[in-house]
Amino acid sequence: MAKTVVLVTGAGGQIGTVLIAALRKLHGNMNVIASDLHPMESNGPFELIDVTSSVRIAEVIRKYKVTQIYHLAALLSSKGEANIDLTWRINFISYQNILALAQEHGISKLFFPSTIGVYGPTTPRIMTPQNASFIPSTVYGISKMTGELWGEYYRNRYGLDVRSLRFPGVISYEVIPHGGTTDFAVEIFFAAKREGHYISYLKEDTRLPMIYMPDVINATLKLMHAEQEDISTSMGYNLASFSLSPREVYEEIKKHLPELTIAYQPDARQKIADSWTETTDDSLARSDWGWQPEFSMSEMTIDMLKNVQV
Ligand code: AKB
């Protein structure tokens, strides 16, 4: 059997930082190539890659004889609106190139992180189905939905094994995310420990789907290790864990840090959050490959407060 050699793009980001460690545990440090636009610490091979250069990606695939790709590099929803052309190039054109390279170089599996950002104002807000009316209102959502469709096309036309998840807002303590609409759910933990006060850029009752990092890693690895015949789609699987609003997470943290205070000053991100949904139906992920989240909102809160370093 051929050795598994994994390339991870965007390895310095919120998910990449933690996923790299999990993949290296599984496949060995030397068999997981971290790559990012900026230098980063790495206890294994690292390559500087600007994902908009398909020539550079091809070079790295050839150099290490890469067999699997996790393409994490992306601009998130809020930052994406500040430069829509660059976001389209990074989020979609680079992925389109990677699909073509995967086909050309016989890549055995490709992971594409999608997002709740693919939902839009016409999408049912409660228990969003796997397939519904998805008309995203951000370039981030448009690029990710197009990416999902392109991945499904490659699966149907060329048999490429593309796997994808629609991640909710990701909560973690290792790296503070920037440029997203769900960032408040991480920022509040750091602010709670540092200043004892948080100013939320969303209204108090804006509820969004969220997930804790250990469940992100579990879901990704479980999906990527599922038998190919159990994967019924290369579109992103809906992935649910818990939902929370700024007030709900504030009240949960307050149980442990009673001095915490909060103020609400909604900004442009409110409009993006309002176009997304509150809860999602992830029954397809559960029945296809046995998805089951482990962390509730209260368990996540306890773990975050134990681990956030300020
Ligand atoms: C964002 O807020 O843009 C991301 C996401 C939900 O995909 N965290």
pLDDT higher than 80, residue 210 = yes
Ligand 1 pocket, 91 CB below 6 A?
Answer: no
Q: Is the CB of 114 under 6 A from ligand 1?
A: no
Q: Write down the pLDDT at residue 2.
A: 76
CATH class assigned to 6-169+213-238: alpha beta
The arithmetic mean of pLDDT across residues 279-290, rounded, is 98
pLDDT of 194 > 70? The answer is yes
Which pair of tokens denotes residue 159? 């048999």
Q: Domain-by-domain residue ranges, the chain?
A: 6-169+213-238, 171-209+241-278+295-307
Contact indicator for 3, 67 with CB cutoff of 8 Å: yes
**Does the pLDDT of residue 289 top 70, yes or no?**
yes
Per-residue pLDDT of 32-84, as tens digits, reads: 999 999 999 999 999 999 999 999 999 999 999 999 999 999 999 999 999 99
Mutate to test the pocket of ligand 1, among 182, 183, 274 (most ligand atoms within 8 A of CB): 182
- The residue-averaged pLDDT of 276-285 equals 98
**For residue 103, is pLDDT > 70?**
yes
Would you say 51 and 61 are in contact if contact means Cβ atoms under 8 Å apart? Answer: no
Residue 302: CB partners within 8 Å, gap ≥ 6?
256
What is the structure's pLDDT at 1?
66
Distance 45 CA to ligand 1 centre (A): 28
236 touches ligand 1 (CB under 6 Å): no
pLDDT of amino acid 175: 87
DSSP string, 241-300: -EEE-HHHHHHHHHTT-TT-EEEE---THHHHHHHS-S-B--HHHHHHH-------HHHH
* Pairing mode of beta strands 237-238, 162-167: parallel
Strand bridging mode 109-115 / 208-212: unpaired
Q: pLDDT tens digit string along 109-164?
A: 999 999 999 999 999 999 999 999 999 999 999 999 999 999 999 999 999 999 99
DSSP 128: B
Q: Ligand 1 atom 5: the closest Cα is on which residue?
A: 169
State the distance from the centre of ligand 1 to the C-alpha of 48, rounded, in angstroms.
24
Cβ atoms 170, 217 nearer than 8 A: no
Q: Is the CB of 246 under 6 A from ligand 1?
A: no
- In CATH terms, 171-209+241-278+295-307 corresponds, of 3.30.70, 2.40.10, 1.20.120, 3.90.25, to 3.90.25
* Residue 191 to residues 195, 227, 240, 249, Cα–Cα distance (Å): 5, 42, 26, 13
Query: Which atom of ligand 1 lies nearest, measured to the CA of 76?
Result: 3
Q: What is the pLDDT of residue 277?
A: 97
Examine the pLDDT at 14 and tell me if it is beyond 90: yes
CB of 169 within 6 A of ligand 1: the answer is yes
